[in-house]
Amino acid sequence: MIQQECHFSLTQQLQLTPKLQQAIRMLQLSTQELSQELTQALESNVMLELDPPLDTLSTPLSQLSSTDLHHDSAVDHDSAELAYDAFCDYPEKSRSEENSAGQLWPQVERETLQTHLLWQLRASQLTETNYNIGKIIIGLINDDGYLTENLKDIQSLLKTQGIVVSMKQISNVLSTIHGFEPLGVGAIDLQQTLLLQLNDYPTQTADVELAKHCIQHHLTLLATHQYRKLAQLCKIQSQVLDRALTLIQSLNPRPGNRYSNTSAANYISPDILVIKKGSAWHVKLNPLLLPKLRLNGCYLSLLDTQASNGTHHFIHTQLREARWLIQCLKQRNETLLKVAKAIIQHQQAFMTHGPGAMNALILKDIATELNLHQSTISRVSTKKYIQTPQGTFELKHFFNSHINTTYGEPCSAIAIQCFIKTLIANENPRKPFSDHKLTQHLALKGLTVARRTVSKYRESLRIPKATLRKH
């Protein structure tokens, strides 16, 4: 026979109420997201109004970031093309870091590569058929300016749209596009885009012809900086080759890049400002990004009148929500300022001397110091920006891993990257440092870093390996 028993026990459990969830969510919102949140609250809650009222603001709430500051922070071809970037030392725009979280705003509207090419196509006075061919070709050109399909595939694509043309006709239209600005657009690979740019030189000098010969027959040697071997194969002196190399380095390996949306300047407004007064660093919230909310006095006065029960209930409900939102906004600002002050207290050396003096800091350090949870520090430091004498950074930039040193004090990863960058900047271009050699130099500074870690830091700095840095 089964005997059933009943037991009682007391347990404590934390439940996230809707109000607590709202407070946590507001803490992790970026400035832009917070602005949108407050705008919606002002529209939906009659008890809320801006202080000063909206009609006295010089700018609307969504445009309070009028003093935005500039934020200082492809098709893969073969290995020779990738190495060519290092050879040219041509700047490449980052495509993921700025836009991954959607926090940089507002973006400057810029003309795209496709619209620029279509404008030139319309001005070329082509026949209707050739114009339609040109539109298809331009649609297949990526942001770097390269044609992503071959002529046969373009012919098949045109056929599906009822346009039957020969390969020669497609080639002629493509040749017309090759003459468009930017020079080199519509090429199928790096070699062709460089040659198209050289073809535009009005005077076909010996330097231009030599540059063409090197690109057509010795692109790999150019990319790997084997100039002595290249001079021997071309049977020329090094001084003559240097002039051709200077010409090649002036060419653009990605002609469409400057028309790409990803190359548009990104702007942010700092949430926190750091100012040095005397020998002390003062941290404050950006006043232009602090819209103040207050309760609407007109609706508050209705609570003292003989309004209907339905009106009283509506106003009381709106009043509770408004007071909680104002409290959440105040708590968010206080927490943000408190965390920012603690970070700056730990990173004063960085404020004065730059990245090389960045101290090791982790979330747990600030959380323990402020008696907050690590997740709270993480939420506050994400998508919040601080303006410093060294530039404008996201708060989480100041949290970084560290390694132990032989002299006792830990060294931050950012400081190590700064050391690597400095070593490479001062190296002999004829004998650049390998990752193993960089590891040895760091060891002399008391930094015991594995070679693979040095390689990872070098790649994060977008610095090519030693064989590609050799001049």
* Structure letter (DSSP) for residue 55: G
pLDDT at 140: 92
Tokens of 262: 């990803």
Does residue 209 lie in a domain region? yes
* Residues 259 and 406 both lie in one domain: no
Residue 387, CA distances (Å) to 65, 176, 320, 334 in order:
14, 48, 36, 18
Tokens of 106: 């507002």
pLDDT at 18: 66
CA distance 48 to 323: 9
pLDDT at 19: 66
Does residue 90 lie in a domain region? yes
pLDDT in tens, the chain (471 residues): 566 777 676 766 555 566 677 777 878 888 888 888 888 888 888 888 887 654 444 444 444 433 333 333 333 334 444 344 434 443 333 333 333 333 333 444 557 888 889 888 888 888 889 999 999 999 999 988 999 988 899 998 888 888 889 999 999 999 999 988 888 999 999 999 999 988 887 666 778 888 888 988 888 888 888 888 888 888 888 888 888 888 888 888 998 887 765 444 557 788 899 988 888 888 998 888 777 888 888 877 877 776 677 777 888 888 888 888 888 888 888 999 999 999 998 888 888 888 777 888 888 888 899 998 888 888 888 888 999 888 888 888 888 766 666 655 677 778 888 888 888 888 888 888 888 888 888 888 777 778 888 888 888 888 888 877 877
Q: Which of 214, 230, 263 lies at the terminal end of a domain, its last residue?
A: 263
Question: Residue 199 contacts by C-beta under 8 Å, 6 or more apart in sequence?
Answer: none
Does residue 152 lie in a domain region? yes
pLDDT at 404: 66
Residue 252, CA distances (Å) to 87, 196, 296 in order:
12, 11, 59
pLDDT at 85: 44
How many distinct structural domains can be found in the chain?
A: 2
Provide the CATH number for the domain around residue 426. Answer: 1.10.10.60
Q: Can you give the residue range of the structural domain that contains 87?
A: 79-263
Closest CA to 380 of 355, 361, 399: 399
Q: Which of 216, 246, 263 lies at the terminal end of a domain, its last residue?
A: 263
pLDDT at 400: 76
DSSP-derived 3-state class of residue 160:
helix
Does residue 162 lie in a domain region? yes
What angle in degrees, to the nearest 10, is found between the helix axes of 451-460 and 413-425?
A: 80
Q: Which of 263, 288, 319 lies at the terminal end of a domain, its last residue?
A: 263
Q: CB of 271 within 8 A of CB of 34?
A: no
Does residue 25 lie in a domain region? no
Tokens of 241: 């080759």
Does residue 357 lie in a domain region? no
Q: CB of 281 within 8 A of CB of 405?
A: no
Closest CA to 435 of 418, 399, 459: 459
Residue identified by tokens 């020079």 is 183
pLDDT at 307: 62
Does residue 22 lie in a domain region? no
Report the DSSP beta bridge partners of residue 283: 274
Does residue 127 lie in a domain region? yes
